[in-house]
Amino acid sequence: QVHLQESGPGLVKASETLSLTCAVSGGSISTYSWSWIRQPPGKGLEWIGYIYWSGSINYNPSLKSRVTISKDTSKNHCSLKLSSVTAADTAVYYCARHFQYDSGVIDGFDPWGQGTLVIVSS
């Protein structure tokens, strides 16, 4: 059973770069596609971007200029970098594996990591 674990600094200073890692266990990161999703405290979910099994990458247009998603197959993890952060980037950050089924048109997300809270301080 695949397990995802996000890790990284819980506190980042405004204008700096947020860097998180999602460690995958119980499966190969090369076989599936992966997304990063965030949730500000008390608010809803926002998709940040994905990296497909093929290496193809796409980002939320609202974050595209500041986001970089990558993967390291040797370490079996994927990474998120978000530059020039502000207080609005304070959120719980989740990584999630893409869920596909036979006749599916688009992917869903399952499973999810437990999430990691990142607070942007001024």
Partner 1 sequence: QSVLTQPPSVSGAPGQRVTISCTGSSSNIGAGYDVYWFQQLPGTAPKLLIYGNSNRPSGVPDRFSGSKSGTSASLAISGLQAEDEADYYCQSYDSSLSGSYVFGTGTSVTVL
For partner 1, the closer of residues 27 and 115 by Cβ is 115
Please tell me whether residue 103 binds partner 1 under the rule CB under 8 A. Answer: yes
**Residue of 41, 54, 65, 106 that binds partner 1 (CB under 8 A):** 106
Query: Please, what is the minimum distance in Å from the beta carbon of residue 13 to partner 1?
Result: 26
Q: Mark the segment that binds partner 1 (CB under 8 A) among 7-15, 20-28, 74-82, 110-118.
A: 110-118
Q: Which is nearer to partner 1, 33 or 90 (CB)?
A: 33
34 binds partner 1 (CB under 8 A): no
DSSP, residue by residue, 42-107? TS--EEEEEE-TTS-EEE-TTTTTTEEEEEETTTTEEEEEE-S--GGG-EEEEEEEEE--TT-SS-
Among residues 75, 114, 119, 121, the one that binds partner 1 under rule CB under 8 A? 114
Residues pairing with 99 in the sheet: 108
Sheet with 3-7, side-by-side order of all strands: 3-7, 18-25, 77-82, 67-72
DSSP 31: T
